[in-house]
Structure 1
Amino acid sequence: MAALRADYATGTGERRELRLADGSRVWLNTGTALQVRYQDSMRSLALLAGEILIETAPDAQGRPFFVQTRFGRLQALGTRFTVRLTDQQTRLDVFDGAVEILTQYGGQRRIEAGGAARFDDRALTPLDGADDMRAAWSKGILLADNMPLGDLLAELSRYRRGHINVAPAVASLKVMGVYPTDDTDQALAMLAQTLPIHIHHSLPWWITVDAR
Protein backbone atom coordinates (compact mmCIF):
# COMPACT_ATOMS: atom_id res chain seq x y z
CA MET A 1 0.00 0.00 0.00
CA ALA A 2 1.15 3.52 -0.84
CA ALA A 3 0.40 4.72 2.70
CA LEU A 4 3.05 2.38 4.11
CA ARG A 5 5.74 4.11 2.02
CA ALA A 6 4.51 7.62 2.77
CA ASP A 7 5.74 10.23 5.21
CA TYR A 8 2.20 11.59 5.44
CA ALA A 9 -1.09 9.91 4.59
CA THR A 10 -4.85 10.35 4.94
CA GLY A 11 -7.60 7.77 5.18
CA THR A 12 -11.02 7.75 3.54
CA GLY A 13 -12.82 11.01 4.26
CA GLU A 14 -9.81 12.57 5.97
CA ARG A 15 -8.00 15.81 5.07
CA ARG A 16 -4.72 17.11 6.44
CA GLU A 17 -2.73 20.34 6.23
CA LEU A 18 1.08 20.46 6.40
CA ARG A 19 3.50 23.36 6.71
CA LEU A 20 6.86 22.35 5.29
CA ALA A 21 10.29 23.46 6.50
CA ASP A 22 10.53 26.29 3.93
CA GLY A 23 7.07 27.67 4.75
CA SER A 24 5.28 26.02 1.83
CA ARG A 25 1.84 24.64 2.64
CA VAL A 26 0.38 21.34 1.44
CA TRP A 27 -3.15 20.03 1.91
CA LEU A 28 -3.78 16.29 1.53
CA ASN A 29 -7.17 15.18 0.27
CA THR A 30 -8.90 11.91 1.14
CA GLY A 31 -6.93 8.72 0.46
CA THR A 32 -3.61 10.47 -0.16
CA ALA A 33 -0.04 9.27 0.39
CA LEU A 34 2.88 11.71 0.18
CA GLN A 35 6.64 11.60 0.57
CA VAL A 36 8.64 14.76 1.39
CA ARG A 37 12.30 14.95 0.39
CA TYR A 38 14.04 18.25 1.06
CA GLN A 39 17.72 18.27 0.08
CA ASP A 40 20.48 20.84 -0.31
CA SER A 41 19.83 21.09 -4.05
CA MET A 42 16.04 20.77 -4.30
CA ARG A 43 12.67 20.56 -2.57
CA SER A 44 10.79 17.48 -3.73
CA LEU A 45 7.45 15.84 -3.02
CA ALA A 46 6.41 12.42 -4.31
CA LEU A 47 2.66 11.90 -4.65
CA LEU A 48 2.12 8.16 -4.31
CA ALA A 49 -1.69 8.25 -4.26
CA GLY A 50 -4.53 10.74 -4.02
CA GLU A 51 -4.54 14.51 -4.36
CA ILE A 52 -2.74 17.54 -2.95
CA LEU A 53 -3.09 21.32 -2.99
CA ILE A 54 0.21 23.20 -2.79
CA GLU A 55 1.09 26.81 -2.03
CA THR A 56 4.82 27.19 -2.50
CA ALA A 57 6.91 29.65 -0.51
CA PRO A 58 10.07 31.44 -1.69
CA ASP A 59 13.17 29.50 -0.72
CA ALA A 60 16.12 31.33 0.87
CA GLN A 61 18.50 28.88 -0.81
CA GLY A 62 16.88 29.23 -4.23
CA ARG A 63 16.11 25.52 -4.49
CA PRO A 64 13.60 24.42 -7.15
CA PHE A 65 10.33 22.83 -6.01
CA PHE A 66 9.28 19.55 -7.66
CA VAL A 67 6.33 17.18 -7.40
CA GLN A 68 6.89 13.67 -8.73
CA THR A 69 4.18 11.18 -9.72
CA ARG A 70 4.43 7.86 -11.51
CA PHE A 71 3.69 9.64 -14.81
CA GLY A 72 6.17 12.51 -14.61
CA ARG A 73 7.55 15.49 -12.75
CA LEU A 74 6.12 18.95 -12.10
CA GLN A 75 8.22 22.01 -11.32
CA ALA A 76 6.44 24.79 -9.45
CA LEU A 77 7.28 28.33 -10.53
CA GLY A 78 6.02 30.44 -7.62
CA THR A 79 2.56 29.03 -7.54
CA ARG A 80 -0.61 27.53 -6.09
CA PHE A 81 -1.85 24.34 -7.74
CA THR A 82 -3.43 20.93 -7.26
CA VAL A 83 -2.16 17.55 -8.39
CA ARG A 84 -4.35 14.45 -8.52
CA LEU A 85 -3.01 10.98 -9.23
CA THR A 86 -5.17 8.07 -10.39
CA ASP A 87 -4.23 4.68 -11.80
CA GLN A 88 -4.60 6.10 -15.31
CA GLN A 89 -3.16 9.62 -15.19
CA THR A 90 -2.00 12.72 -13.35
CA ARG A 91 -4.12 15.88 -13.46
CA LEU A 92 -2.76 19.37 -12.81
CA ASP A 93 -4.77 22.54 -12.14
CA VAL A 94 -2.85 25.81 -11.72
CA PHE A 95 -4.44 28.72 -9.83
CA ASP A 96 -1.46 31.08 -9.42
CA GLY A 97 1.96 31.27 -11.04
CA ALA A 98 2.93 28.48 -13.42
CA VAL A 99 3.97 24.83 -13.41
CA GLU A 100 6.32 23.08 -15.84
CA ILE A 101 5.40 19.48 -16.73
CA LEU A 102 7.99 16.90 -17.78
CA THR A 103 6.43 13.52 -18.47
CA GLN A 104 8.08 10.13 -18.18
CA TYR A 105 8.16 9.79 -21.97
CA GLY A 106 9.78 13.22 -22.47
CA GLY A 107 6.75 15.42 -23.15
CA GLN A 108 7.08 18.94 -21.78
CA ARG A 109 4.69 21.86 -21.33
CA ARG A 110 4.33 24.95 -19.16
CA ILE A 111 0.88 25.52 -17.65
CA GLU A 112 0.10 29.09 -16.61
CA ALA A 113 -2.37 30.27 -13.96
CA GLY A 114 -5.93 29.40 -14.96
CA GLY A 115 -4.76 26.42 -17.00
CA ALA A 116 -4.90 22.68 -16.49
CA ALA A 117 -3.56 19.50 -18.06
CA ARG A 118 -3.58 15.76 -17.71
CA PHE A 119 -0.83 13.33 -18.64
CA ASP A 120 -0.06 9.65 -18.54
CA ASP A 121 2.71 7.44 -19.92
CA ARG A 122 1.72 8.20 -23.53
CA ALA A 123 0.34 11.72 -23.87
CA LEU A 124 0.12 15.20 -22.33
CA THR A 125 -3.22 16.92 -22.93
CA PRO A 126 -3.97 20.58 -22.07
CA LEU A 127 -7.47 21.13 -20.67
CA ASP A 128 -9.88 24.05 -21.02
CA GLY A 129 -9.06 25.63 -17.67
CA ALA A 130 -8.36 25.15 -13.99
CA ASP A 131 -11.33 23.67 -12.16
CA ASP A 132 -12.21 25.51 -8.92
CA MET A 133 -13.53 22.23 -7.52
CA ARG A 134 -9.93 20.99 -7.50
CA ALA A 135 -9.17 23.35 -4.63
CA ALA A 136 -12.57 23.55 -2.88
CA TRP A 137 -12.05 20.17 -1.21
CA SER A 138 -9.37 21.75 1.00
CA LYS A 139 -12.24 23.60 2.72
CA GLY A 140 -14.34 20.45 3.06
CA ILE A 141 -16.73 21.12 0.19
CA LEU A 142 -17.50 19.96 -3.33
CA LEU A 143 -18.58 22.63 -5.80
CA ALA A 144 -20.99 21.63 -8.55
CA ASP A 145 -21.67 23.96 -11.46
CA ASN A 146 -23.90 22.19 -13.96
CA MET A 147 -22.10 18.93 -13.14
CA PRO A 148 -23.63 15.57 -14.12
CA LEU A 149 -24.99 13.78 -11.07
CA GLY A 150 -22.93 10.70 -11.86
CA ASP A 151 -19.72 12.73 -11.78
CA LEU A 152 -20.64 14.42 -8.51
CA LEU A 153 -21.46 11.12 -6.84
CA ALA A 154 -18.19 9.64 -8.09
CA GLU A 155 -16.38 12.50 -6.35
CA LEU A 156 -18.50 12.17 -3.22
CA SER A 157 -17.80 8.44 -3.03
CA ARG A 158 -14.12 9.20 -2.45
CA TYR A 159 -15.06 10.54 0.99
CA ARG A 160 -17.01 7.54 2.28
CA ARG A 161 -16.51 3.82 2.56
CA GLY A 162 -18.64 1.53 0.43
CA HIS A 163 -20.20 1.98 -2.98
CA ILE A 164 -22.67 4.41 -4.56
CA ASN A 165 -24.50 2.90 -7.52
CA VAL A 166 -26.10 5.45 -9.89
CA ALA A 167 -28.89 4.43 -12.27
CA PRO A 168 -28.21 5.49 -15.89
CA ALA A 169 -31.59 7.25 -15.99
CA VAL A 170 -30.41 9.89 -13.49
CA ALA A 171 -26.64 9.94 -14.02
CA SER A 172 -26.82 12.82 -16.50
CA LEU A 173 -28.99 15.12 -14.35
CA LYS A 174 -27.25 18.47 -13.91
CA VAL A 175 -26.33 19.56 -10.41
CA MET A 176 -25.47 22.96 -8.97
CA GLY A 177 -24.59 23.69 -5.37
CA VAL A 178 -22.13 23.30 -2.52
CA TYR A 179 -21.92 19.92 -0.81
CA PRO A 180 -20.03 18.93 2.37
CA THR A 181 -17.41 16.21 2.14
CA ASP A 182 -17.21 15.76 5.92
CA ASP A 183 -20.85 14.59 6.07
CA THR A 184 -21.63 12.64 2.91
CA ASP A 185 -25.01 11.51 4.23
CA GLN A 186 -26.03 15.17 4.47
CA ALA A 187 -24.75 15.76 0.93
CA LEU A 188 -26.87 12.87 -0.35
CA ALA A 189 -29.92 14.20 1.50
CA MET A 190 -29.39 17.63 -0.09
CA LEU A 191 -29.33 16.04 -3.54
CA ALA A 192 -32.53 14.11 -2.82
CA GLN A 193 -34.27 17.35 -1.82
CA THR A 194 -33.40 19.20 -5.03
CA LEU A 195 -33.45 16.47 -7.69
CA PRO A 196 -36.07 13.91 -8.79
CA ILE A 197 -34.10 11.04 -7.30
CA HIS A 198 -34.51 8.45 -4.58
CA ILE A 199 -31.62 7.24 -2.45
CA HIS A 200 -31.80 3.65 -1.20
CA HIS A 201 -29.57 2.67 1.71
CA SER A 202 -29.63 -1.06 0.97
CA LEU A 203 -26.73 -1.69 3.34
CA PRO A 204 -24.50 0.68 5.34
CA TRP A 205 -21.87 0.34 2.63
CA TRP A 206 -24.12 0.10 -0.45
CA ILE A 207 -26.26 2.99 -1.74
CA THR A 208 -28.37 3.04 -4.89
CA VAL A 209 -29.50 6.29 -6.51
CA ASP A 210 -32.35 6.06 -9.02
CA ALA A 211 -35.35 8.01 -10.33
CA ARG A 212 -38.09 9.02 -7.91
Structure 2
Amino acid sequence: MNNTCAQKAPLPEQVVQQAIAWRICLESGNVQSADMAEYRRWRLADPMHELAWQRIENMEAAFAGVSKKNGRIAHMTLKKTDHDIQSMNRRQALKRIAGTTLGLASVSWLADKQGAWQYLNADHATTNQRQLFTLVDNSQLWLNHNSTVELNFNAHNRYIHLTRGEMQFIASANTQPVQVALQHGTLLCDSKQFFVRNEADHALVQVMQGSVKLAQANGLFTNQAIKAGELYKITVNSMQQLDNHIFDYSSWTAGLLSVRNMSINSFLAELSRYHRGFIKIAPSLNDYLVSGVFQLNDTHLILKTVARSARASVHYRTRWWAEIRS
Protein backbone atom coordinates (compact mmCIF):
# COMPACT_ATOMS: atom_id res chain seq x y z
CA MET A 1 0.00 0.00 0.00
CA ASN A 2 1.46 3.38 -0.96
CA ASN A 3 1.66 6.25 1.51
CA THR A 4 -1.32 8.13 0.01
CA CYS A 5 -3.58 5.10 0.31
CA ALA A 6 -2.37 4.45 3.84
CA GLN A 7 -3.20 7.99 4.88
CA LYS A 8 -6.75 7.59 3.57
CA ALA A 9 -7.33 4.09 4.93
CA PRO A 10 -10.01 3.77 7.64
CA LEU A 11 -8.77 3.02 11.14
CA PRO A 12 -10.35 0.74 13.75
CA GLU A 13 -12.48 2.80 16.10
CA GLN A 14 -10.59 1.52 19.14
CA VAL A 15 -7.32 2.84 17.69
CA VAL A 16 -8.84 6.28 17.11
CA GLN A 17 -10.20 6.35 20.67
CA GLN A 18 -6.79 5.39 22.02
CA ALA A 19 -5.06 8.13 20.01
CA ILE A 20 -7.50 10.78 21.23
CA ALA A 21 -7.11 9.55 24.82
CA TRP A 22 -3.33 9.81 24.57
CA ARG A 23 -3.58 13.34 23.11
CA ILE A 24 -5.76 14.48 26.00
CA CYS A 25 -3.49 12.72 28.51
CA LEU A 26 -0.31 14.33 27.17
CA GLU A 27 -1.86 17.81 27.23
CA SER A 28 -3.39 17.43 30.68
CA GLY A 29 -0.30 18.77 32.46
CA ASN A 30 -0.16 15.71 34.75
CA VAL A 31 1.98 13.39 32.67
CA GLN A 32 4.48 11.20 34.53
CA SER A 33 7.59 9.58 33.06
CA ALA A 34 5.84 6.19 33.16
CA ASP A 35 3.00 7.67 31.09
CA MET A 36 5.46 8.93 28.47
CA ALA A 37 7.13 5.52 28.27
CA GLU A 38 3.77 3.80 27.84
CA TYR A 39 2.75 6.36 25.21
CA ARG A 40 5.93 5.69 23.19
CA ARG A 41 5.38 1.92 23.43
CA TRP A 42 1.82 2.40 22.22
CA ARG A 43 2.95 4.35 19.14
CA LEU A 44 5.53 1.70 18.28
CA ALA A 45 3.25 -1.28 18.91
CA ASP A 46 1.31 -1.05 15.66
CA PRO A 47 1.58 0.99 12.42
CA MET A 48 -2.10 1.87 12.82
CA HIS A 49 -1.31 3.57 16.14
CA GLU A 50 1.29 5.75 14.45
CA LEU A 51 -1.06 6.54 11.55
CA ALA A 52 -3.84 7.59 13.95
CA TRP A 53 -1.41 9.82 15.84
CA GLN A 54 -0.17 11.43 12.62
CA ARG A 55 -3.73 12.17 11.55
CA ILE A 56 -4.46 13.94 14.83
CA GLU A 57 -1.24 15.96 14.58
CA ASN A 58 -1.95 16.88 10.95
CA MET A 59 -5.45 18.01 11.87
CA GLU A 60 -4.14 20.18 14.70
CA ALA A 61 -1.30 21.60 12.58
CA ALA A 62 -3.79 22.76 9.98
CA PHE A 63 -5.41 24.97 12.59
CA ALA A 64 -2.28 26.15 14.38
CA GLY A 65 -3.14 29.73 13.48
CA VAL A 66 -6.22 29.79 15.66
CA SER A 67 -5.90 32.52 18.31
CA LYS A 68 -4.84 31.52 21.82
CA LYS A 69 -8.29 32.29 23.15
CA ASN A 70 -10.01 30.22 20.50
CA GLY A 71 -7.33 27.56 20.91
CA ARG A 72 -8.17 27.20 24.59
CA ILE A 73 -11.85 26.95 23.76
CA ALA A 74 -11.11 24.37 21.06
CA HIS A 75 -8.94 22.37 23.46
CA MET A 76 -11.71 22.26 26.04
CA THR A 77 -14.12 21.32 23.26
CA LEU A 78 -11.99 18.32 22.34
CA LYS A 79 -11.94 17.24 25.98
CA LYS A 80 -15.72 17.46 26.12
CA THR A 81 -16.29 15.56 22.89
CA ASP A 82 -16.07 12.04 24.31
CA HIS A 83 -18.55 12.87 27.08
CA ASP A 84 -20.87 14.62 24.64
CA ILE A 85 -20.89 11.73 22.22
CA GLN A 86 -22.00 9.44 25.04
CA SER A 87 -24.89 11.71 26.00
CA MET A 88 -28.45 11.15 24.85
CA ASN A 89 -28.89 14.37 22.90
CA ARG A 90 -26.61 14.00 19.89
CA ARG A 91 -27.90 17.05 18.08
CA GLN A 92 -27.23 19.19 21.13
CA ALA A 93 -23.71 17.77 21.24
CA LEU A 94 -23.17 18.80 17.64
CA LYS A 95 -24.17 22.38 18.47
CA ARG A 96 -21.82 22.45 21.46
CA ILE A 97 -18.74 21.32 19.56
CA ALA A 98 -19.47 23.41 16.48
CA GLY A 99 -18.58 26.62 18.30
CA THR A 100 -14.92 26.66 17.26
CA THR A 101 -12.99 26.13 14.07
CA LEU A 102 -10.97 23.30 15.57
CA GLY A 103 -14.09 21.74 16.98
CA LEU A 104 -15.64 21.66 13.52
CA ALA A 105 -12.41 20.31 12.04
CA SER A 106 -12.34 17.53 14.63
CA VAL A 107 -15.91 16.54 13.91
CA SER A 108 -15.36 16.65 10.16
CA TRP A 109 -12.22 14.51 10.43
CA LEU A 110 -13.90 11.92 12.62
CA ALA A 111 -17.03 11.99 10.49
CA ASP A 112 -14.99 11.27 7.39
CA LYS A 113 -12.77 8.57 8.91
CA GLN A 114 -14.94 6.96 11.56
CA GLY A 115 -18.59 7.74 10.80
CA ALA A 116 -19.02 10.21 13.67
CA TRP A 117 -22.03 11.76 11.97
CA GLN A 118 -23.87 8.54 12.79
CA TYR A 119 -23.41 9.37 16.47
CA LEU A 120 -24.22 13.03 16.13
CA ASN A 121 -27.41 12.43 14.12
CA ALA A 122 -28.60 9.52 16.26
CA ASP A 123 -31.64 9.60 18.50
CA HIS A 124 -30.08 6.89 20.66
CA ALA A 125 -26.44 5.83 20.73
CA THR A 126 -23.88 3.95 22.79
CA THR A 127 -20.09 3.92 22.86
CA ASN A 128 -18.37 1.52 25.28
CA GLN A 129 -21.45 0.09 26.93
CA ARG A 130 -24.70 -1.66 26.12
CA GLN A 131 -27.88 0.19 27.02
CA LEU A 132 -31.62 -0.41 27.19
CA PHE A 133 -34.01 2.26 25.87
CA THR A 134 -37.76 2.23 26.45
CA LEU A 135 -39.70 3.59 23.46
CA VAL A 136 -42.96 5.52 23.53
CA ASP A 137 -45.10 2.36 23.30
CA ASN A 138 -43.08 0.67 26.07
CA SER A 139 -41.23 -1.53 23.60
CA GLN A 140 -37.62 -2.21 24.61
CA LEU A 141 -34.70 -1.33 22.37
CA TRP A 142 -31.30 -2.70 23.34
CA LEU A 143 -28.20 -1.18 21.73
CA ASN A 144 -24.86 -2.93 21.96
CA HIS A 145 -21.46 -1.20 22.21
CA ASN A 146 -20.79 1.43 19.51
CA SER A 147 -24.31 1.40 18.07
CA THR A 148 -26.59 4.15 16.74
CA VAL A 149 -30.22 4.41 15.66
CA GLU A 150 -32.42 7.10 14.18
CA LEU A 151 -36.10 6.85 15.05
CA ASN A 152 -39.46 7.87 13.69
CA PHE A 153 -41.39 6.11 16.40
CA ASN A 154 -44.77 7.37 17.59
CA ALA A 155 -48.48 6.57 17.48
CA HIS A 156 -48.46 6.67 13.65
CA ASN A 157 -44.98 5.51 12.69
CA ARG A 158 -42.82 2.62 13.86
CA TYR A 159 -39.57 3.15 11.98
CA ILE A 160 -36.03 2.37 13.20
CA HIS A 161 -32.91 3.06 11.15
CA LEU A 162 -29.99 1.05 12.52
CA THR A 163 -27.10 3.17 11.24
CA ARG A 164 -24.37 1.38 13.16
CA GLY A 165 -23.78 -1.66 15.35
CA GLU A 166 -26.30 -4.03 16.92
CA MET A 167 -29.79 -3.85 18.32
CA GLN A 168 -32.32 -6.14 19.92
CA PHE A 169 -36.00 -5.21 19.87
CA ILE A 170 -38.57 -6.58 22.30
CA ALA A 171 -42.09 -5.49 21.41
CA SER A 172 -44.68 -4.46 23.98
CA ALA A 173 -48.10 -6.10 23.97
CA ASN A 174 -50.54 -5.38 21.12
CA THR A 175 -48.16 -3.33 18.98
CA GLN A 176 -48.05 -2.88 15.22
CA PRO A 177 -45.21 -4.21 13.01
CA VAL A 178 -41.90 -2.36 13.07
CA GLN A 179 -39.85 -1.32 10.06
CA VAL A 180 -36.05 -1.52 10.42
CA ALA A 181 -33.87 0.09 7.74
CA LEU A 182 -30.35 -1.13 6.89
CA GLN A 183 -28.05 -0.41 3.96
CA HIS A 184 -28.70 -3.99 2.82
CA GLY A 185 -32.48 -3.69 2.78
CA THR A 186 -35.53 -3.16 4.95
CA LEU A 187 -36.93 -5.51 7.57
CA LEU A 188 -40.69 -5.66 8.12
CA CYS A 189 -40.95 -7.07 11.62
CA ASP A 190 -44.11 -8.70 12.87
CA SER A 191 -42.09 -10.08 15.72
CA LYS A 192 -42.02 -9.96 19.49
CA GLN A 193 -38.25 -10.24 19.70
CA PHE A 194 -35.44 -10.07 17.16
CA PHE A 195 -31.75 -9.16 16.83
CA VAL A 196 -30.01 -7.23 14.05
CA ARG A 197 -26.30 -6.57 13.44
CA ASN A 198 -25.37 -3.98 10.83
CA GLU A 199 -21.93 -4.44 9.23
CA ALA A 200 -20.38 -2.65 6.25
CA ASP A 201 -20.78 -5.62 3.89
CA HIS A 202 -23.60 -7.61 5.48
CA ALA A 203 -26.27 -7.76 8.15
CA LEU A 204 -27.17 -10.52 10.58
CA VAL A 205 -30.81 -11.06 11.57
CA GLN A 206 -31.91 -13.51 14.25
CA VAL A 207 -35.56 -13.96 15.25
CA MET A 208 -36.47 -15.24 18.71
CA GLN A 209 -40.27 -14.79 18.61
CA GLY A 210 -42.53 -14.10 15.63
CA SER A 211 -41.20 -13.50 12.12
CA VAL A 212 -39.41 -10.91 10.01
CA LYS A 213 -39.84 -10.23 6.29
CA LEU A 214 -36.96 -8.90 4.23
CA ALA A 215 -37.18 -6.46 1.34
CA GLN A 216 -33.63 -6.06 0.00
CA ALA A 217 -32.34 -2.79 -1.40
CA ASN A 218 -32.06 -4.21 -4.93
CA GLY A 219 -35.50 -5.82 -4.86
CA LEU A 220 -34.31 -9.41 -4.41
CA PHE A 221 -35.90 -11.71 -1.81
CA THR A 222 -38.86 -9.37 -1.33
CA ASN A 223 -41.02 -10.60 1.55
CA GLN A 224 -38.64 -13.47 2.27
CA ALA A 225 -39.59 -14.60 5.78
CA ILE A 226 -37.19 -15.26 8.66
CA LYS A 227 -38.94 -17.35 11.28
CA ALA A 228 -38.45 -17.79 15.01
CA GLY A 229 -35.26 -19.69 15.76
CA GLU A 230 -33.61 -18.76 12.44
CA LEU A 231 -30.44 -16.75 11.81
CA TYR A 232 -29.59 -15.21 8.42
CA LYS A 233 -26.65 -13.37 6.91
CA ILE A 234 -27.86 -10.78 4.41
CA THR A 235 -25.91 -8.91 1.73
CA VAL A 236 -27.17 -6.72 -1.08
CA ASN A 237 -27.27 -9.75 -3.39
CA SER A 238 -27.67 -12.77 -1.14
CA MET A 239 -29.43 -14.28 1.84
CA GLN A 240 -27.79 -17.19 3.68
CA GLN A 241 -29.10 -19.16 6.64
CA LEU A 242 -26.50 -19.75 9.38
CA ASP A 243 -26.21 -22.26 12.21
CA ASN A 244 -27.65 -20.46 15.24
CA HIS A 245 -26.38 -23.05 17.72
CA ILE A 246 -22.72 -21.98 17.57
CA PHE A 247 -23.04 -18.45 18.93
CA ASP A 248 -25.85 -16.64 20.72
CA TYR A 249 -25.79 -13.22 19.05
CA SER A 250 -28.18 -11.67 21.56
CA SER A 251 -26.50 -12.86 24.78
CA TRP A 252 -24.75 -9.48 25.15
CA THR A 253 -28.01 -8.04 26.47
CA ALA A 254 -27.36 -10.11 29.61
CA GLY A 255 -23.68 -9.14 29.65
CA LEU A 256 -22.57 -12.53 28.34
CA LEU A 257 -20.89 -14.26 25.42
CA SER A 258 -22.44 -17.71 24.93
CA VAL A 259 -20.63 -19.99 22.49
CA ARG A 260 -20.40 -23.67 21.56
CA ASN A 261 -17.64 -25.18 19.40
CA MET A 262 -16.71 -21.90 17.76
CA SER A 263 -13.30 -21.44 16.15
CA ILE A 264 -11.02 -19.42 18.39
CA ASN A 265 -10.41 -16.83 15.69
CA SER A 266 -14.14 -16.28 15.21
CA PHE A 267 -14.62 -16.11 18.97
CA LEU A 268 -11.85 -13.52 19.39
CA ALA A 269 -13.40 -11.49 16.57
CA GLU A 270 -16.61 -11.37 18.62
CA LEU A 271 -14.71 -10.59 21.82
CA SER A 272 -12.88 -7.72 20.10
CA ARG A 273 -16.20 -5.87 19.92
CA TYR A 274 -15.89 -5.40 23.69
CA HIS A 275 -12.16 -5.64 24.39
CA ARG A 276 -10.12 -2.44 24.23
CA GLY A 277 -6.95 -3.30 22.37
CA PHE A 278 -5.46 -5.64 19.80
CA ILE A 279 -5.59 -9.44 20.19
CA LYS A 280 -3.19 -11.72 18.33
CA ILE A 281 -3.18 -15.51 18.40
CA ALA A 282 -0.43 -17.97 17.53
CA PRO A 283 -1.17 -19.88 14.28
CA SER A 284 -0.68 -23.18 16.13
CA LEU A 285 -3.97 -22.50 18.00
CA ASN A 286 -6.10 -21.73 14.95
CA ASP A 287 -7.92 -25.10 15.08
CA TYR A 288 -8.97 -24.77 18.72
CA LEU A 289 -12.74 -24.61 19.35
CA VAL A 290 -14.15 -22.47 22.15
CA SER A 291 -17.20 -23.39 24.25
CA GLY A 292 -18.64 -21.71 27.32
CA VAL A 293 -20.53 -18.78 28.77
CA PHE A 294 -18.33 -15.77 29.55
CA GLN A 295 -19.00 -12.63 31.58
CA LEU A 296 -18.33 -9.52 29.47
CA ASN A 297 -17.47 -7.31 32.44
CA ASP A 298 -13.86 -8.56 32.34
CA THR A 299 -12.53 -9.24 28.85
CA HIS A 300 -8.99 -9.78 30.15
CA LEU A 301 -10.29 -12.63 32.30
CA ILE A 302 -12.01 -14.10 29.23
CA LEU A 303 -8.70 -14.05 27.36
CA LYS A 304 -6.94 -15.82 30.25
CA THR A 305 -9.73 -18.40 30.57
CA VAL A 306 -9.78 -19.22 26.87
CA ALA A 307 -5.99 -19.37 26.72
CA ARG A 308 -5.87 -21.70 29.73
CA SER A 309 -8.46 -24.03 28.18
CA ALA A 310 -6.33 -24.15 25.02
CA ARG A 311 -3.25 -24.93 27.13
CA ALA A 312 -1.79 -21.57 26.22
CA SER A 313 -1.22 -18.25 27.98
CA VAL A 314 -1.76 -14.54 27.41
CA HIS A 315 1.25 -12.24 27.00
CA TYR A 316 0.94 -8.44 26.90
CA ARG A 317 3.36 -6.45 24.73
CA THR A 318 1.56 -3.30 25.91
CA ARG A 319 -1.69 -2.81 27.79
CA TRP A 320 -3.33 -2.49 24.35
CA TRP A 321 -1.67 -5.53 22.71
CA ALA A 322 -2.39 -9.08 23.93
CA GLU A 323 -1.00 -12.26 22.40
CA ILE A 324 -2.24 -15.81 23.05
CA ARG A 325 0.47 -18.35 22.47
CA SER A 326 1.47 -21.82 23.63
Would you call these one fold, judging by a TM-score over 0.5?
A: yes
Structure 1 counterpart of 2:253: 138
For 1:8 and 1:17, locate their aligned partners in 2 and report how far apart those are by CA, in whole Å. Answer: 10
Cα offsets for 1:38-97 (capped at 9, x unmatched): 15542011111110111112456xx43111111111111132110001111011001110
Structure 2 counterpart of 1:5: 121
8 A contact 1:65–1:75 mirrored in 2: yes
Could you say what secondary structure the match of 2:218 adopts?
coil
Choose from 297, 304, 312 the match for 1:197. Answer: 312
- Between stretches 65-74 and 130-139, larger displacement belongs to 130-139
Aligned AA for 1:80?
Q
For 2:177 and 2:211, locate their aligned partners in 1 and report how far apart those are by CA, in whole Å. Answer: 13
Choose from 72, 79, 88 the match for 2:201. Answer: 88
Choose from 161, 168, 172 the match for 1:53. Answer: 168
Choose from 138, 144, 159 the match for 1:44. Answer: 159
8 A contact 1:159–1:182 mirrored in 2: no
Structure 1 counterpart of 2:49: none
For 2:245 and 2:196, locate their aligned partners in 1 and report how far apart those are by CA, in whole Å. Answer: 11
RMSD across aligned positions (CA): 1.7
Cα offsets for 1:95-124 (capped at 9, x unmatched): 110011111011221111011212122222
Whether 1:176 and 2:280 are equivalent positions in the alignment is no
Whether 1:79 and 2:192 are equivalent positions in the alignment is yes
The alignment-based identity, stated in percent, is 28
Give the structure with the higher percent strand: 1
Structure 1 counterpart of 2:302: 187
- What TM-score results when the alignment is normalised by the length of structure 1? 0.91
Could you say what secondary structure the match of 2:229 adopts?
coil
Structure 2 portions without partners, runs of 5+: 1-115
Structure 2 counterpart of 1:32: 147
Q: 1:128 to 1:160 in 2, by over 3 A?
A: closer
Q: 1:191 to 1:208 in 2, by over 3 A?
A: same
Q: Which has the higher contact order (CA 8 A, sep 6+)?
A: 1
